[in-house]
Amino acid sequence: MSSLQPLNPDDFDYWKAQHLLNRAGFGGTPAQVRGLAGMGLQGAVEYIVDYGGIEAEPVRADLFDGDIMSPMSRDQRDVLRQARRDRDEVTLSEFRRRRQERQRADRRQMIEIQRWWMTRLIESPRPLEEKMTLFWHGHFATNYRAIEDSYHMFMQNQLFRVYAVGNFKGLTHAVIRDPAMLRYLNNDQNRKQEPNENLARELMELFTLGEGHGYSEDDIKEGARALTGYTYRDDSFIDRKSRQYRRLHDDGIKRIMGESGKWDGDDFVEIIFSRRACSEFICLKLYRYFVNDRPGDPDRDRQQFIMDMATQLRRNKYALRPVLKALFMSEHFYDPSNVASQVKSPVQLIVQAVRSLHTPTRQLSALASAADLMGQNIFYPPSVKGWAGGRTWINTSTLFVRQNAIVYLLTGRRPDRYPWQDDGTRYDATHLLEHLREPNGAVSVQDAVSYLLRINLAGEPHPQRVASLVAFVESRGGRLDNPMLIALLSLITAMPEYQLC
């Protein structure tokens, strides 16, 4: 029996739908969760994964300016060369000044792109599309600091979106053509005469096979040769019929993992993807992202589940959609040991809070900067390994930032300013309790508290938490008006449990 055995459809209830929406997306309001639960297991999973039919804001190439960092024209280059020869300080300093100006403009655009993605994460009707875009951003990690071209980051972000639940192999072929990646891992300097191994190494070690999984240092060297000449001009991958490519690319015979031929970069990818380890590596990563990110090696049952995912991925020639569907349908995904077992990433924390509590979005730049303070600055992953995730998100400082960022969403008071001033936009939390109300409008304190805890915490609330919040409401007169709801939500979102999803 496969470990991917689906959940009994009768067991798919509100709480399982909530788990699905939290993990495959960024949560939702109680009304949205009820809607999803009503679709039944299969319907809900298809709704989440086959999102192509859901209308979403198109991503147009002209959303941002692609020319800020475009290379100098031939004329400009000539002027600069001449000025260097003549030691013409005036012209040289003018060039420096203009370059600094463009860099400043580009950094401003990067902030705009951050805001744009933040908005999309919060508003997209295709949550899995954004969730997978974020997954690929952490997987094929590229940091703007080293790229210094915001449009390349934007293009890469859109590449991840297009391939979100598409084909992993196809995406990898695209990534070795992606200007931001080529620049980040120095493949723009990888040429026949002087090979640079950086991309070849990370391609195997971090992107596809994992360290120690069937390749040697020699394979890296030979792979680097295969990737020579894979570079870009302006915003596009180099034309492989061009003289420049022929000059840079080593078209000799390479021997990669035992296979010899006149391999190029795409052949190299094909050889990698013919290895079983490649499917297992990415499935382990997807498992940690969607199911359970406990530190240490997965136990035997989990290992088996990952192997079965990998088998299915290979059978589908690396198409992700069928594997993700099987994953979200599986009994294992909904197992109590996997619910409320994952530390929310900073982006997950913020986006899920806005989506599920339906708070005002407040200032997008404040949200992006809060995520940054919690350790996840989107478009600036800390290294080519992406974000380590899991427990590394949490320490005493980030915990306060996490709690305070939600206070900001609830109240509009920025936690980094003291004394506080709110932004004047009031959050109405009463909608959360709407369907609990008796026909006469009354809600019992016990019911309201239990319910608020249950929809905000991924798992069953601890009885002690229920009791202490009920006591708190009673001590304040038992009224459940909006200020009291906001007080309750501030306390619930400050619980250690709230950091889990």
Report the interface residues with another protein, using CB under 8 A: 89, 92-93, 96, 100, 103, 107, 143, 145-146, 148, 293-294, 340-343, 372-373, 375, 382-384, 388, 390-392, 394-400, 403-404, 407, 411, 413, 415-416, 418, 420, 462, 464-465, 468-469, 472, 475-476, 486-487, 490-491, 494-497, 499-500
CB-nearer residue toward another protein: 133 or 499: 499
- At closest approach, how far in Å is the CB of 426 from another protein? 13
- At closest approach, how far in Å is the CB of 353 from another protein? 14
CB-nearer residue toward another protein: 273 or 289: 289
* 232/241 Cα distance (integer angstroms): 13
Instruction: For residue 225, give Cα distances in angstroms to 111, 222, 257.
Output: 37, 5, 14
CB-nearer residue toward another protein: 153 or 313: 153
Local structure of residue 319 (DSSP, 8 states):
B
Distance of CA 226 to the CA centre of its chain: 30
- At closest approach, how far in Å is the CB of 451 from another protein? 18
* 451/291 Cα distance (integer angstroms): 25
> Which residue from 462, 445, 442 is spatially nearest to 454, judged by alpha carbons?
462
| DSSP state letters, 87-146 | T-HHHHHHHHHHHHHHHHHHHHHHHHHHHHHHHHHHH-S-HHHHHHHHHHHHHS---HHH
CB-nearer residue toward another protein: 165 or 484: 484
- At closest approach, how far in Å is the CB of 302 from another protein? 15
> Which residue from 23, 106, 52 is spatially nearest to 292, judged by alpha carbons?
23
CB-nearer residue toward another protein: 278 or 354: 354
CB-nearer residue toward another protein: 111 or 307: 111
- At closest approach, how far in Å is the CB of 121 from another protein? 21
Alpha helices, H only, 191-242 = 198-202, 217-226
CB-nearer residue toward another protein: 253 or 420: 420
- At closest approach, how far in Å is the CB of 77 from another protein? 17
- At closest approach, how far in Å is the CB of 310 from another protein? 25
Cα atoms found within 13 Å of the Cα of residue 91, Cβ hemisphere only: 13
